[in-house]
Structure formats: C-alpha cells, structure tokens
Amino acid sequence: MTTTSPPTPTGRGLGRLLGRQGPRVIAPLVSGQEIVLIAVIVVLWLVLGWATPAFLTADSLRPLLIEVAPIALIGVGMTLVIVAGGIDVSVGSQMMVCGVITARLLVDAHVSLPVALLVAVAVGALMGAVNGVLIAWGRVHAIIITFGTLNLFQFVGRQIFGSQTVNGIPGTMDVFGRGDPGQTLGVPHSFLLTAVIAAAVWWYLRQTPGGRHFYAIGGDPLAAELAGIRVRRRVLLTYVITGALVGLAAVFTLAKGTTTLDQSIGAGQELAVIAAVIIGGTSIMGGRGSVLGTILGAVLVQTVSSGVTQLGWPSNLSDLFVGLFVIIAVGTDLLRQRARRRS
C-alpha cells in the first residue's frame, strides 16, 4: 500500500521535498491505504446495516458523525505532531481543562458561546505551547514531556472542577448539538467544521513548501535543520495547533446534549485519537502521514464502537477490535519501511 506522504527526505529527496530543486511530484489524491480504509468502512457499514437495519438510517449515522468530530478534529493536529516526529498523550487532560473552563464561563459568567469558544481555543493553544516549548527547546522526548503534562493538566482541571459537577449548561451549545439547530441538510455542524479544517490542513501539507517541512522534520530533523528549516518553531507550531483544536473539540463534546459536566470529559480521548491517526496510515516513526487517512481512521474507530453497542455486544470488544486495527496498521508500516530500505 502507498501513502500520500512524501518519502523520507535525504539528499536530493530533501531538496525536492522543500521545492528547491528538481521537478515537483504530485502524489495521488487518494492513496492505496486510504482506498483500503474506505473499503473496510463500506463493508462494515453494509454488514452492520444488514445485522441492525437501523444503523444505516439518518437517526443513527448523524450521532455517529457527531461522535467522530472531536476525535477527527484532534486527530488532524495529532497527524501534524506525529508526522513531525512527536506525539502528544496529554490531549485528554487538555480537553478536561478546556471543557471545564468553557462550562464555567457559560454557566457562572454567562458569556456568549463565541467568547467561550475563543477562550477554549486560546487555553488549548496555551497548553499546546507549554508542550511545544518543553519538547522543542528542552530536547526531551515528546512522550516523556506529554506524559508529565498529562498529569499536570489533569490536576489543573480537577482544581477548576473543585470536586463538583458543572450543572445547567445553556442551550446556546445547540448549534453544535444533536438537534435540528446543530445540523444543515442533515449533516452536523461539528462534523462540517471538522471537515473544513481538515481540508485546509490537507491542502497546506500537500501544496505548500511549509507543509512539506513537517515531513522533512519527521524524516530527519538534523538534515531538515541543515537545509534551513526552523525545526524548533515548526515543532512548537504542531503542538500549538493541536492544543487549539483540542479546545474546539472540547466545545463539540460539551454540545452533545448533556446539561451536566463531570471530570470524565476527555478520559481516554488520547487513545482514540492516536488510534485513528495510526489506523489512518500515519507512521508512528514520523515523516509520513495523511489527514484524509486520519479522518477515515476516526470514522472507522467510531463505527466499531457504535456497531458493538448496537449489536448488544460487551463494550470492551470495541477496544479489542480497534487494538487489532492498530497492530495491523503498525505492522504494515514496519513492513513498508523494511521494503523501502531493501530497495
């Protein structure tokens, strides 16, 4: 299978990746791996539609897209992070902080939804900046830093909660919710906005030299730095973008229909996001990845979860199936790298 990402940048390949010499090679719009994912999703939907006819109805698919939106949105940022050779396991705790701050602003301060949304995005970007600065300038592996900040942000979120739930979340959130105000032509607004952001990032990675810099950094950061790329700034940018998208995803999560928020918000979100990114074809080793693949990976992860629920199977089976998909994706990536080195 192939990916839409440029090859690992070394020598002349780095120059072409940066657009500084040689002809530009355009990757196909849809890669082989993405076609496989689309086929798997279609087959799953057909099987689930046969087993539970209600699955393929609008009343079932619309909630599925609402559940997909936060995972896919954070996954777009995580794709940038992993492509550039990093990882962020603190996104779940970041969502908790952004979620409780947004809820407090709406309930206690009675601010408007646009103001609360901007604050959530800004707070998320700030937490992402903390990760980015520590990783880019501290020269410590990303998983160590983000594991530390996972606990730090979780502590902050719990302090803001104050061992209490936030009750009475207003109906202004309905624009991103499950009802009629939260959809256009039957498509949830949260998923539409996620698709627009994903398309913009996809275009940036594919069409601009700046976007290709992320692949260069993930493939060989030293070579990228020698080629004139400001590696630290680019690494910082990936975490800031991811944090900002976490803030927006927290708003989407709040709008799902509940009027009460507790400390479970964001729990396990990092696992779902990383699974979606890896299943979507992004190499955990960095240097290769696809935003479209991540969106498809998020749809697949949520399809498995929804399917297990609708079939009445034990919920832990969804973790089993997603884990198997991750192992297959990682194994395929390792085999592809080995074949590339041999050739």
Mean pLDDT confidence for 101-123: 94
Q: What are the tens digits of pLDDT across the range 216-266?
A: 999 999 999 999 999 999 999 999 999 999 999 999 999 986 778 888 899
Mean pLDDT confidence for 316-336: 87
Using a pLDDT cut of 90, give the percent of the chain over it: 63
Q: How far apart are CA 178 and CA 175, in angstroms?
A: 9
Q: Choose the most confident range, by mean pLDDT, from 179-183, 198-202, 255-259, 332-336.
A: 198-202
Q: How far apart are CA 195 and CA 155, in angstroms?
A: 32
Q: How far apart are CA 67 and CA 72, in angstroms?
A: 9
Task: Return the DSSP state at 260.
Answer: E
Mean pLDDT confidence for 38-52: 93
Q: What is the pLDDT of residue 11?
A: 43
- Listed range (158-167, 198-207, 223-232) with the worst mean pLDDT: 158-167
Q: How far apart are CA 124 and CA 97, in angstroms?
A: 8
Question: If pLDDT is split at 50, 70 and 90, which confidence band does 17 have?
Answer: very low
Mean pLDDT confidence for 320-334: 88
Q: How far is CA 13 from CA 19, 35, 180, 219, 286, in A?
A: 10, 26, 50, 11, 16
Q: Are 286 and 213 in contact (CB under 8 A)?
A: no
pTM of the model: 0.90
Which residue spans within the chain are E strands per DSSP?
166-167, 183-184, 187-188, 260-261
Q: With CA atoms as reference, report the closest residue to 150 among 277, 271, 252.
A: 271
Rounded to the nearest 10 degrees, the angle between the axes of helix 209-219 and helix 58-83 is 70
Q: What are the tens digits of pLDDT across the range 20-40?
A: 443 343 456 777 788 999 999
Q: How far is CA 72 from CA 50, 75, 194, 240, in A?
A: 26, 5, 7, 17
Six-digit token string for 264: 């479970």
Query: What is the secondary structure of 152-163 as a DSSP string?
Result: HHHHHHHHHHTT
Q: Are 125 and 247 in contact (CB under 8 A)?
A: yes
